Structure 1
Amino acid sequence: MGVSSNGLVGKLLVLNLVMVVVVLVMSSTAYGAGNFLEAFEPTFGGNRVRVSGPQNTQLALTLDRGSGSGFRSKREYLFGRIDMQIKLVPGNSAGTVTTFYLSSDQRTGRHDEIDFEFLGNLSGQPYTIHTNVFSQGQGNREQQFHLWFDPTQNFHTYTILWNPQLIMFKIDETPLRVFRNYENEGISFFPKVQPQRIYASLWNADDWATQGGRVKTDWSKAPFSATYRNFNIDTSPNGAWRTHDLDANGRMKLRWVQKNYMIYNYCTDWNRFSQALPPECKKSGV
């Protein structure tokens, strides 16, 4: 039976659409579609690392008197966008630290690192969000924030976007911090050559984590648990992350966060850097 020209065109359009969908699926770098068992492996804690949910899309870390727990990606990445939904330890979380970060091999002594750390507190008090950047083993680029929501009641999406121009920390698409690469202006501090793995952990740090170590972990509240889910790893060569920067709306949100919720900025700590602030502090958009 013959096929009309209109019918042939329709079939070709359907075929092209199917091919486009196949190409998009094959080029996706959402590794394992969020399957923790495929993309990650435990680093410590044994059975305190628990994967669950349909297609292994949820992972819980537990801390008790015996140990904390953690996991890391099986692969290393040089640049990309990493999204992770996290629900933090509820109630009295004083002394606990929950993390989500990138790090190169620390055994070299000159590792690179990009940190989200969530410092627990007494019930009713806000978490402290601690961010830091390391390059070639040197850190001391901390900024700290409180949050405009309770991070223990629901999952929120925490994002590390790392490209050759900048590192951006985001929460639910709201930029929290931008750390830029000023190499073209003679400032060499920026992680750009060492691939890094994705890490997460829950551990006890009551010697420093809560109010400088004045508030200790209440082990009667143990075990403590934090939950991770719905991660996405985008390293696609043509991904929007490669050239992503703040637009006008992003700059407005960043100013709002830093005005209302920043509680520490290394670039204003003259007591700590009495000789001279780190050179990137003279630039805008740190």
Structure 2
Amino acid sequence: MGLLSCSISETITPSLLFFFLFCFIGFATATFNVTTLAFDEGYNPLFGDGNLVRSPDGHSVRLLLDVYTGSGFISSRMYQHGFFSAKIKLPSDYTAGIVVAFYTSNGDVFEKNHDELDIEFLGNIEGKPWRFQTNVYGNGSTNRGREERYNLWFDPSKEFHRYSILWTAKNIIFYVDEVPIREVVRNDAMGGDYPSKPMSLYATIWDASSWATNGGKYKVNYEYAPFTSEFKDLVLDGCAIDPIQKFPNSTACSETDTWLESRDYAVITPKSRSAMRRFRQRYMYYSYCYDNVRYPITPPECAVDSNEKQRFRNTGRLRFGGSHRKQARMERARRKRRSRAAAVSDDQTDM
């Protein structure tokens, strides 16, 4: 869908109509051309079997968290690059402390030098905007986390939205619906920090009370259990690798890689790049690329945007600690102060 979630009153003024049209077209992009799988065609239960519930037609699955256990599933095969995608609906009501994760990893095979690409939803207090993060690890570089955190512009517990991870030899792109929200372009300076080994796709729901929501301030409340996340329209595009073959031949996936890089989701068009820029301006509230306290030397893959950087403190967090609306109000106030100062200066000159 890729649309801003908006509401309008019964009386539509011209300004409200403009706002509605902006919301409708702001992030609109074409739907990806993908082939979906039934659960048993590409996935296996990972843990919490009793809390993993397949639909009667086998094309969707629910993951539950209760007081006893969470649950999860894993792709049946590992992939050397790929496009991993699903339509997901998150638990509703009070979900503080709960993490729903959709990610690729090879931690079960490479315990000390694993690779990982994450989309993690960080629980929610009813009525507040949902927050989520993306992260990139390569070669066990967990001490060099590459987190970015964002708000969502819709309620992900009300309906399904598509979340996707593209991983190629050249770049990584995270998507919400068909909107690219983050791109990591590989360069030589990254070395082993760029994920390079075969990975599986995982989806999980679990109790992360110690850190997920407001740094652990709000915990899971099991009075609201069971918590249910739903997954459907599952996609696994890529070069499947035998798990026993930890280090595939460098040419084994060349044909599939070429095909993967030609797909519509592998190309960020000028329109899509504009949508990504708008998303990041309005909804990103932390980026490791601007966290100079944590990383005095900017990590080599960071494409620092000077306009984007001005919005963040040296801790990587927004300067004004709030939403893009609050930032806009602050900016308007600054412009008014500058205008008044200029007017006073002109008056004094005339005198």
Q: TM-score range by the shorter chain?
A: 0.7 to 0.9
Conservation of the 8 A alpha-carbon contact between 1:113 and 1:191: no
Compute the displacement of 1:65 (Å): 0.7
Compute the displacement of 1:29 (Å): 9.0
Secondary structure at the aligned position of 1:159 is classed as: strand
Are 1:148 and 2:153 matched, yes or no? Answer: yes
Are 1:133 and 2:136 matched, yes or no? Answer: yes
In the other structure, the counterpart of 1:249 is 271
Compute the displacement of 1:279 (Å): 2.2
Compute the displacement of 1:187 (Å): 3.0
Match of 2:181 among 176, 185, 201: 176
Compute the displacement of 1:245 (Å): 3.1
Report the AA paired with residue 256 of structure 1.
R
Cα 1:29–1:268 shift into 2, 3 Å = closer
Q: Bigger shift: 227-236 or 116-125?
A: 227-236
Match of 2:259 among 239, 263, 270: 239
Q: State the TM-score, normalizing by the size of structure 2.
A: 0.68
Cα 1:108–1:194 shift into 2, 3 Å = same
What is the rounded CA distance, in whole Å, between the counterparts of 2:195 and 2:76 in structure 1?
A: 20
Secondary structure at the aligned position of 2:280 is classed as: helix
- Identity rate, percent: 35
What is the rounded CA distance, in whole Å, between the counterparts of 2:154 and 2:213 in structure 1?
A: 19
Secondary structure at the aligned position of 1:257 is classed as: helix
Cα 1:282–1:36 shift into 2, 3 Å = closer
* Structure 2: runs of 5+ lacking an equivalent: 1-32, 240-255, 309-351
What is the rounded CA distance, in whole Å, between the counterparts of 1:219 and 1:269 in structure 2?
A: 35
What is the rounded CA distance, in whole Å, between the counterparts of 1:235 and 1:256 in structure 2?
A: 29
What is the rounded CA distance, in whole Å, between the counterparts of 1:208 and 1:105 in structure 2?
A: 21
What are the equivalent positions in structure 2 for 1:1-286 lying under 5 Å apart? 30=35, 33-54=36-57, 56-106=58-108, 107-139=110-142, 140-183=145-188, 186-235=189-238, 237=256, 238-242=258-262, 244-273=266-295, 275-281=296-302
What is the rounded CA distance, in whole Å, between the counterparts of 1:29 and 1:105 in structure 2?
A: 27
Conservation of the 8 A alpha-carbon contact between 1:85 and 1:228: yes
Compute the displacement of 1:41 (Å): 1.0
Compute the displacement of 1:178 (Å): 0.5
* Structure 1: runs of 5+ lacking an equivalent: 1-27
Number of aligned residue pairs: give it: 253
Secondary structure at the aligned position of 1:145 is classed as: strand
What is the rounded CA distance, in whole Å, between the counterparts of 1:222 and 1:192 in structure 2?
A: 36
Report the AA paired with residue 259 of structure 1.
Q
For residues 11-47 of structure 1, give each alpha carbon's deviation from its aligned partner in whole angstroms, at most 9, with x where no partner exists.
xxxxxxxxxxxxxxxxx994xx511123111111121
What is the rounded CA distance, in whole Å, between the counterparts of 2:106 and 2:276 in structure 1?
A: 28
Cα 1:233–1:249 shift into 2, 3 Å = same
What is the root-mean-square deviation of aligned Cα atoms in Å?
A: 2.2
Larger RCO (alpha carbons 8 Å, 6+ apart): 1
